[in-house]
């Protein structure tokens, strides 16, 4: 087979199926890597899993080298035995295709499958995700492994779900090799049809970088100065699609062998743009699954977790999602790996569940003693079961079993939508900008934080989501806005929604080209205001608003074009100019926020906007108390998570599923209550 062949184009329509869930009630468990242990430990594992109430484990993620010992030589004996033990123990299996980690023999035989970096250097064996999505050799070996495993285990009674690979793009997002270059060129031909179309989209007249044929196009390999933003963005899109093609190929092989088993892969939806475009991937998984790890350096860890969960839910609002991985305590890949405080494990897991996950799975079951993750926490820590971590794991298992009736329900519909889109984020990251070092989702996180502290639920949505059901739609620094999104926002405002657009939104089109005529180009008509120039502030510099408010980082010289000024700049070069504007649009309105508001100014403005739209917290909450409701056919459950040390009162009536007793109106410091609410009579 040649090193590179045209790979099948990605399916276009949604292909998600409505299949039954892998387990009844909540899924609870984690990645299980028995190949690192001896059989006596497996027996002990199953005993402990039963003790903790584990219902589902993800098996075989990195086991290729332990299964296919040499090219075509398989040893299934150990996996047969592990599956038998798990099945006897009543534990369901999410069986992985092991393609996240090719075996050493494959890298030895075919080093050309390893990704190549921007400088043209090929990586070596020894890491994981050591494969290029455009390599036909890779595809052939991977599919052979998937089919061999699929044929053997598709009908195994313990196997309830397929887990394709692991965190696609987590180590092989971009590959700059010749096979990738060829694959990229065919992707571009499909997108643009003619090379003139590409030249126009990328604006290649700049620096005279005109292409006269697709054959001249290369991936954005290292160059001495900044690359074209259109090329960079398309390479990000292509890379996501190339990985998706591989996912779809593995998925389809499994689907043929087991049409009724759900198939998924684990995303990494966090607080920044993804390594893949989650919006275009989500329709291809039967269950949206996510991995989330709290970040030690983040001053608002609980809110960052909520942002990730609200974003994951936003990828499929019709079904619960699944938290495929998180940690029981410290990880090993941050500069200073922070252990979780007592109670934090349970609070973290249940925050995800409150926000729509139908379970809580961890990386990993038993902490490894060897290998690069030997210092990562597990459900069974190095120190054994007489430990804080194990006791909390068992407590979480108990709570999830006691609240099994909640599984399958959905988070109550949010009235606020907040846009945070991968592709728009990539566009912001691609090339030089008016202000460097400002993370793509900084504004999304800030506006979400303000909502989170106010106890107001929002769905965090990609640019392609339907916006019909929302009273308030926030567009925080969404740099790239396509005409469909602009039309959707306009229609939502006409229908009665309040749309709030901030600086750095709608500045470029789908080709990463500036939209002329004043900023925010794509949304200028909607907001009825246009900025002619940015006035980026220096570090530590701030500016004041009239009648009140402080702004930092970014300000603009704005012209009113139909909107009224609600706040003006006070002092400095923009003294007296409009800063915040509002325009009536049909039955709704559109706001424009031309500056980065500080926390207080943002909270004030959002308070005003929410009050105007009649949006309130679904439950009045005290500071530090997170409250989220899940509902199903007239029933509802209120999750109350107390992140503080002090007891907090909350008004809810019903049975607390955590204690089994009537809820007494108090959530003790650091704990969680799940109240089955009494129907309002």
Interaction pattern, residues 371-390, with ligand GAL; x per rule: CB under 6 A: --x--x--------------
Opening angle at CA 277, ends 275 and 278, nearest 5: 105
Q: Do 472 and 501 contact (CB within 8 A), yes or no?
A: no
Taking the complex as a whole, the smallest distance from the CB of residue 378 to ligand GAL amounts, in Å, to 10
Query: Which residues lie below 8 Å from residue 256, measured CB to CB, with a gap of 6+?
Result: none
Q: Do 126 and 192 contact (CB within 8 A), yes or no?
A: no
Active-site option among 245, 250, 325, 344: 325
**HSE-CB for 114 with a 13 A CA cutoff:** 20
293 binds ligand GAL (CB under 6 A): yes
Taking the complex as a whole, the smallest distance from the CB of residue 186 to ligand GAL amounts, in Å, to 30
Instruction: Choose the binding region for ligand GAL from 74-82, 165-173, 411-419, 458-466 (rule: CB under 6 A).
Output: 165-173
Q: Which of 55, 166, 303, 594 binds ligand GAL (CB under 6 A)?
A: 166
Q: Which of 26, 176, 281, 363 binds ligand GAL (CB under 6 A)?
A: 363
- Taking CB atoms, the residue at the shortest distance from ligand GAL is 363
Taking the complex as a whole, the smallest distance from the CB of residue 285 to ligand GAL amounts, in Å, to 16
DSSP state, 401?
A: H
Q: Is 167 a catalytic residue?
A: yes
Taking the complex as a whole, the smallest distance from the CB of residue 331 to ligand GAL amounts, in Å, to 4
* Total chain residues near ligand GAL (CB under 6 A): 10
Please tell me whether residue 217 adopts helix, strand or coil conformation: coil
Taking the complex as a whole, the smallest distance from the CB of residue 294 to ligand GAL amounts, in Å, to 11
Q: How many CB atoms neighbour CB 437 within 10 A?
A: 7
Cβ-in-10-Å burial (0-12, 13-18, 19+) of 602 comes to buried
For residue 132, what are the CA distances in angstroms to 172, 174, 183?
7, 8, 11
293 vs 554 by CB, closer to ligand GAL: 293
> Which residue reads 């963005």 in tokens?
233
Q: Is 325 a catalytic residue?
A: yes
Q: Do 125 and 171 contact (CB within 8 A), yes or no?
A: no
Q: Which of 45, 68, 94, 167 binds ligand GAL (CB under 6 A)?
A: 167
SS3 percent helix, strand, coil of the chain, rounded to 5, is 35, 20, 45
60 vs 219 by CB, closer to ligand GAL: 60
Q: Transcribe 245-266 into DSSP letters.
A: HHHHHHHHHHHHH-TTS-EE-E
307 vs 363 by CB, closer to ligand GAL: 363
376 vs 415 by CB, closer to ligand GAL: 376
170 vs 624 by CB, closer to ligand GAL: 170
Q: Do 593 and 604 contact (CB within 8 A), yes or no?
A: no
Site for ligand GAL in 417-476 (CB under 6 A): none
291 binds ligand GAL (CB under 6 A): yes
94 binds ligand GAL (CB under 6 A): no
Taking the complex as a whole, the smallest distance from the CB of residue 483 to ligand GAL amounts, in Å, to 36
Instruction: Choose the binding region for ligand GAL from 6-14, 134-142, 163-171, 605-613 (rule: CB under 6 A).
Output: 163-171
Quick one: CA torsion of 216, 221, 226, 227, rounded to 10 degrees? 40
Task: Compute the distance between CA of residue 409 and CA of residue 25 in angstroms, rounded to an integer.
Answer: 11
List residues with catalytic annotation: 167, 325
Query: Which residues form the interface with ligand GAL (CB under 6 A)?
Result: 166-167, 170, 291, 293, 325, 331, 363, 373, 376
């Amino acid at each position: 087979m040649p090193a590179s062949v045209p790979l099948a184009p990605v399916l276009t329509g949604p292909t998600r199926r409505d299949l039954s869930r892998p387990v009844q009630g909540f899924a609870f468990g984690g990645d299980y890597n028995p190949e690192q242990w001896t059989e006596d430990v497996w027996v002990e594992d199953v005993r402990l899993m039963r003790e903790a109430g584990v219902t589902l484990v993800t098996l075989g993620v990195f086991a290729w080298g332990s299964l296919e010992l040499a090219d075509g030589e398989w040893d299934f004996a150990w996996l047969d035995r592990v599956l038998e033990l798990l099945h006897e123990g009543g534990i369901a299996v999410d069986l992985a295709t092991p393609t996240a980690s090719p075996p050493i023999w494959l890298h030895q035989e075919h080093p050309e499958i390893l990704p190549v970096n921007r400088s043209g250097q090929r990586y070596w064996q020894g890491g994981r995700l050591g494969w290029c999505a455009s390599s036909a050799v890779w595809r052939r070996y991977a599919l052979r492994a998937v089919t061999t495993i699929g044929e053997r285990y598709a009908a195994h009674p313990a196997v309830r779900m397929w887990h394709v690979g692991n965190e696609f793009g987590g180590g092989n997002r971009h590959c700059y090799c010749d096979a990738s270059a060829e694959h990229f060129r065919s992707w571009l031909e499909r997108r643009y049809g003619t090379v003139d179309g590409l030249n126009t989209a990328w604006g290649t007249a700049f620096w005279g970088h005109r292409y006269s044929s697709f054959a001249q196009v290369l991936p954005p390999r290292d160059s001495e100065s900044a690359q074209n933003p259109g090329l960079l963005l398309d390479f990000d899109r292509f890379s996501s699609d190339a990985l998706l093609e591989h996912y779809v190929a593995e998925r389809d092989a499994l689907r043929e062998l087991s049409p009724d088993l759900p198939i998924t892969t684990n995303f990494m939806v966090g607080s920044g743009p993804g390594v893949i475009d989650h919006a275009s991937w989500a329709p291809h998984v039967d269950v949206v699954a996510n991995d989330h790890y709290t970040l030690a350096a983040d001053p608002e860890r609980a809110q960052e977790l909520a942002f990730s969960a609200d974003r994951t839910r936003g990828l499929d609002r019709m079904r619960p999602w699944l938290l495929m991985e998180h940690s029981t305590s410290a990880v090993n890949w941050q500069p200073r790996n922070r252990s979780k405080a007592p109670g934090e494990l349970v609070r973290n897991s249940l925050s995800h569940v409150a926000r729509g996950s139908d379970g809580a799975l961890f990386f990993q079951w038993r902490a490894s003693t060897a290998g690069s993750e030997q210092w990562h926490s597990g459900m069974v820590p190095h120190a054994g079961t007489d430990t804080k971590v194990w006791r909390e794991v068992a407590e979480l298992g108990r709570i999830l079993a006691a609240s099994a009736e909640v599984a399958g329900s959905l988070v109550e519909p949010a009235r606020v939508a907040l846009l945070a889109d991968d592709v728009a984020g990539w566009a912001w990251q691609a090339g030089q900008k008016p202000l460097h070092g400002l993370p793509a989702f900084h504004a999304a996180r800030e506006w979400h934080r303000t909502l989170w502290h106010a106890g107001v639920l929002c769905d965090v949505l990609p640019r392609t989501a339907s916006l019909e059901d929302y009273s308030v739609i926030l567009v925080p620094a969404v740099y790239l806005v396509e005409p469909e999104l602009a039309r959707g926002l306009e229609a939502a405002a006409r229908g009665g929604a309040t749309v709030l657009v901030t600086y750095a939104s709608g500045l470029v089109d789908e080709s990463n080209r500036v939209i002329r005529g004043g900023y925010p180009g794509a949304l200028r008509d909607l907001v009825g205001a246009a900025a002619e120039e940015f006035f980026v502030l220096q570090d530590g510099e701030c500016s004041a608003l009239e009648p009140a408010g402080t702004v930092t980082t970014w300000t603009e010289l704005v012209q009113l074009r139909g909107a009224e000024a609600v706040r003006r700049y006070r002092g400095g070069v923009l003294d007296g100019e409009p800063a915040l504007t509002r325009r009536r649009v049909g039955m709704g309105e559109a706001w424009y926020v031309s500056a980065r508001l500080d926390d207080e100014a943002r909270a004030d403005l959002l308070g005003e906007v929410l009050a105007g739209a009649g949006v309130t917290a679904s439950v009045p909450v005290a500071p530090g108390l997170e409250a989220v409701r899940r509902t199903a056919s007239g029933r509802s459950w209120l999750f109350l998570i107390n992140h503080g040390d002090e007891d907090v009162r909350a008004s809810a009536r019903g049975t607390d599923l955590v204690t089994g007793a009537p809820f007494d109106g108090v959530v003790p410091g650091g704990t969680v209550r799940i109240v089955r609410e009494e129907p309002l009579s």
